[in-house]
Structure 1
Amino acid sequence: MEKPVHVQKDLFAQLGLPNSAAEIEAFITAHTPLADNVKLPDAPFWTTGQAAFIREQLADDADWAELVDWLDAALRQPRKA
């Protein structure tokens, strides 16, 4: 199995978001749960550029796609208050 090219903090940095572990957790908590009928790139909290990056990575099955999938799953899980 190949080692991942990128890690979670790299994805958040690429998206121009704060990327410490606590900041990533806070972002996910603030935006969950994402409704099942909303595709990740269509979520209302992305900028146009962030949404385009996410769409491109998924369409190209690029190095970032695995982390984008992780983020999608994380945003759909109900969080404990």
Structure 2
Amino acid sequence: MESTHHQFYELFEQLGLPSSEQEICDFIDRHPLPGDVKITQAPFWTEQQAALLKELLKQDADWAVVVDHLNVALHH
């Protein structure tokens, strides 16, 4: 079974967000999360975006790695 490695910008595209490098950096800078807020509970997601993130993490698929990276970035 071959593993697929998704890119950060692809996750932003899946979430319906601008996905250039600068737009991703701007999004992360504008949306810091306190340590006690889970990425899936962040107030800035739409219901659909939060549901997608939950599903990607639940599947523990290749996408989960990218979601984890976003989680770390938003908590810094």
Structure 1 length as normaliser, TM-score? 0.87
Pairing 1:4-43 to 2, within 5 Å after superposition: 4-32=4-32, 34-43=33-42
Gaps of 5+ in 1: none
RMSD: 1.4
Counterparts in 2 of 1:63 and 1:3: CA distance versus 1, 3 Å: closer
Gaps of 5+ in 2: none
Q: Distance in 2 between matches of 1:27 and 1:3?
A: 28
Give % identity: 51
The residue aligned with 1:58 is 57
Tell me by how many angstroms 1:5 deviates.
2.3
Q: Classify the secondary structure of the residue corresponding to 1:35.
A: coil
Q: Distance in 2 between matches of 1:16 and 1:69?
A: 18
Tell me by how many angstroms 1:36 deviates.
1.2
Q: Distance in 2 between matches of 1:24 and 1:37?
A: 22
The residue aligned with 1:76 is 75
CA contact (8 A) 2:18 2:24 kept: yes
Structure 2 length as normaliser, TM-score? 0.92
